[in-house]
Amino acid sequence: MSSGGSWTIGRLHQHLQWAVDLEFWTIPYYMSAMYSVRNPADDAAQYIQSVVYQEMLHVQLAANIGTAYGLPVSFPQPFYRDQHIPHLDFNLDHPDPRLQYSPYSAEIGPLDRKRINGFCLVEYPEWLNQTPPPLQEDMRDYPSIGAFYDALRDGAEHLADQIRPNPKQQIDFFSRYYLNGPAFTVTESGRAGWPQVKSMIACITGQGEGGNRRHEQIPALYQNTADDVWPEASHYDKFVALWGANSLPDSYPATSVALGAGGTVQEILIENFERFRVTMERLFAGEEVPNFFADMVTLGGNILNCWKHGVVPRFAPQLTQAEHREARPSVRAFPAHGAPAHPHAPARA
C-alpha cells in the first residue's frame, strides 16, 4: 500500500483517467444484464437502464473534467474477469461489503444474483468520511468509489489553477434530461473554473458514486427529469432494491459463453464496440464525429441479439493466458458468507 503524497498534475491526470476507466467499465457490465431481461418494461430493467444512462453522463463529466485539466483522455478496452472490479480494494472497507454481497461476479452475464451483488459492490457507498481525503498513488488503495472521488475532488481543487478547457473538447449530450441541473461542461479557466468542476464531481457522487450509509435521495439538482422511473433513488439504492427482491425477472438463457453458434453476433458486437471506443477518444480529442449516436445506439441491439442467440455478449476478443495472468487482481477473492439483510434497503422493490 502507498502512504500517499502531494498532488501533482501527473497524479491528478492519473486519477482522472481512472475515473473515466471505471465509469466506462460499468456500461457494458450493466447494459448486458439489462438486455438479458426479456421484458424491457420490467422494473428491474428500468432501474438498470436509468443507471446506465447516468453512467454515460458520468463518463462525459469525468472526460470533460479530464480534458479541462489537459488530460488526453483515452478509453482503453475494458475487460471483465473473475471478481475483479477495476481499481477498487474492498479489503480496506469496514465492514467489508463482500460479507454481504457474495457470491459476486465481475464478468459479463445475465441479470442474476452474482451480477446484482457485483452491481452493489461497484456502487457501494462511502461509510467513513475523511477530510481532507488522503491521496493514494494506486487507486486500489481506495476502499470505495466514493472515497476515490473524495480524493479526486481534493486534488482537483488543489490544482484548479491548471484548468484550461478547450471548448471543442467539452461535450454535452445529456443536459436536456436534467432541466433543474447545473452546467455539464467547463467553460472557465483557472480558479474561476473550479466551481464548475466541483459541481460536475458533485453530480457524479450525488447520483450514486460517493454517498454514505444513510439512505439519502439524489438532490433535486441532479435528478433526471425526463425518463427515470425512480429519479430520486441513487444507483446503490436501485441495486439494493433488486438485491432485496424475492424473485428476478425472466431472462434469456445463455447456452454458450465462447464463440460458437452465436459467434457471428458476438463478433459484430466486438467490432461495433471497438468502433464506439475509438469514436469516444476522437470525440474528447475535439474531433467532429458525425456518427457518434448511431455507433452508440447500435450497441444495444447488438447486445440483445447476443442474448436472443443464446450467447453471452462479448466486447473484446478472448484474452490469452498471458493476458489473463497480467490482468488478474492482486487482492484475494473473498469467500461467500451468509449475512443479514441490508439495514438501509428501500421498501420499494
Residue at 319 is within a domain: no
Give the pLDDT confidence of 252-300 residue by residue, as tens digits. Answer: 988 766 655 567 899 999 999 999 999 999 999 999 998 888 888 999 9
| Residue 37: φ, ψ to 5° | -75, 125
List the domain range (segments joined by +) for residue 212. 9-253
Taking the complete model, does pTM exceed 0.85, yes or no? yes
Judge whether 25 lies within some domain.
yes
**Three cell numbers, residue 335:** 469467500
Report if residue 293 sits inside a domain.
no
Average pLDDT over residues 305-314: 93
Q: Classify residue 317: in a domain, yes or no.
A: no
Determine the Cα angle at 347 with ends 342 and 349, to 5°. 95
pLDDT range class, residue 134, cuts 50, 70, 90: low
Task: Give me the pLDDT at residue 90, please.
Answer: 82
List the beta strands (DSSP E) in the chain.
none
303 within 8 A of 31, measured Cβ to Cβ: yes
Q: Encode pLDDT of 4-15 as tens digits.
A: 458 999 999 999
Average pLDDT on 86-109 reads 87
Whole-angstrom Cα distance, residue 323 to residue 326? Answer: 5
* pLDDT surpasses 60 at 349: no
Whether 219 has a pLDDT exceeding 50, the answer reads yes
Domain count, the chain: 1
CATH of the domain at 96: 1.20.1260.10
- On whether residue 299 sits in a domain, the answer given is no
Measured CA angle at 45 (ends 39, 48), to 5 deg: 165
Using only C-alpha atoms, the chain has a radius of gyration, in whole angstroms, of 19
Shortest CA distance to 331 belongs to which of 158, 203, 196, 139?
A: 139
In a domain, 31, yes or no: yes
Q: Quick check: is 207 in a domain?
A: yes
Residue 337 included in any domain: no
Q: What is the pLDDT of residue 128?
A: 53
299, exposed or middle or buried, with CB in 10 Å at 0-12, 13-18, 19+?
Answer: buried
Q: How far apart are CA 187 and CA 199, in angstroms?
A: 13
